[in-house]
Amino acid sequence: MSENRKLTRSHNSMLGGVCAGVAEYTGADTNLIRLIVVAATIFGLGSMILVYVVAWVILPLADYPTNGSGPVPPST
């Protein structure tokens, strides 16, 4: 398990790339992560919005775009 993964925002995004980045990092479906975030926002009385915005600001954008199943290395 010496895989060097880094949590980043994804280029494959709807808003800020946070949910897509978490999905790529964990290997989960992007829509499932988005559904969890929406449910947490509703049941947490909006507190998840602050967490999402903070993650949007803190997480760096991925170095290169992804295809939804993982990073796509740059063409050489």
Domain membership flag for residue 74: no
Provide the residue range defining the domain that includes 25.
18-58
Domain membership flag for residue 45: yes
Domain membership flag for residue 36: yes
Half-sphere exposure of 74 (CA within 13 A, CB side): 4
Cβ–Cβ under 8 Å, residues 7 and 22 = yes
> Could you read off the pLDDT of 15-74 as tens digits, one per residue?
899 999 999 999 999 999 999 999 999 999 899 999 999 999 999 998 876 565 555 655
Domain membership flag for residue 46: yes
Domain count for the chain, please give it: 1
Domain membership flag for residue 63: no
Domain membership flag for residue 50: yes
pTM of the model: 0.76
Domain membership flag for residue 42: yes
